[in-house]
Amino acid sequence: MASSSSFLLLAVLLALVSWQATASDPSPLQDFCVADMNSPVRVNGFVCKNPMEVNADDFFKAAALDKPRVTNKVGSNVTLINVMQIAGLNTLGISIARIDYAPLGQNPPHTHPRATEILTVLEGTLYVGFVTSNQPAPNRNKFLSKVLNKGDVFVFPVGLIHFQFNPNPHKPAVAIAALSSQNPGAITIANAVFGSDPQISDDVLAKAFQVEKNTIDWLQPVI
């Protein structure tokens, strides 16, 4: 009986390990796999360019990340350098972004479905935070936040809703973020919920947010 129980426990542990091993991208099996953007073959990522045709420019971009950017209507600008800008990032599981914030500007609540983000403030001050998932109480939707100053670093776990806000009404802020995916993706919550194409039924959203339908009808054109 003890032997049977031990075997069952071992089988469960092996299943868990196997699931974990297949739940993330595999490690590269070669030095690099520069993306061949012209290949008609479609895979999860990009097909490798012939290594004999690879050169230094496949790993380079004159991105001018030291230069300020014009911010959008919410007061931010994200300049993302991922595999679409540097083909050599294919299979390497990393990308980088410069984020500019106008005074009182924000990078609004959003998620990266495929990446953890680590952010460092280069100039100014940022109020940042993320919300945990719908896990059992007392940690359900727990909000964790921090005020960051120049040189500070903060981590946003993969898939969780997070934001950054510049609380200074007079000075802009700048941050650099590294993300653990060649193509992290971004889902801005307001845009996804109220600005989808086609629109989500206002009946659904009114019920979900516990508001009147006319409130949803007002929000959808605005977003």
Strands of 75-191, DSSP E: 76-81, 95-101, 106-111, 117-123, 126-131, 143-148, 153-156, 161-165, 173-179, 187-188
Categorise residue 212: left if φ over 0, alpha if ψ from -120 to 50, beta otherwise: beta
C-alpha to C-alpha distances, 140 to 133, 136, 144, nearest whole angstrom: 6, 6, 12
- Say if CB 104 and CB 168 are below 8 A apart: yes
**Which tokens hold the place of 201?**
């039924």
Distance of CA 160 to the CA centre of its chain: 9
Question: According to the annotation, is 117 in a ligand binding site?
Answer: yes
Question: According to the annotation, is 112 in a ligand binding site?
Answer: yes
Nearest residue to 102 (alpha-carbon basis) of 66, 128, 119, 126? 126
Question: According to the annotation, is 107 in a ligand binding site?
Answer: yes
Question: According to the annotation, is 110 in a ligand binding site?
Answer: yes
Question: According to the annotation, is 170 in a ligand binding site?
Answer: no
State the binding site: 107, 110, 112, 117, 162
State the binding site for Mn(2+): 110, 112, 117, 162
State the binding site for oxalate: 107, 112, 117
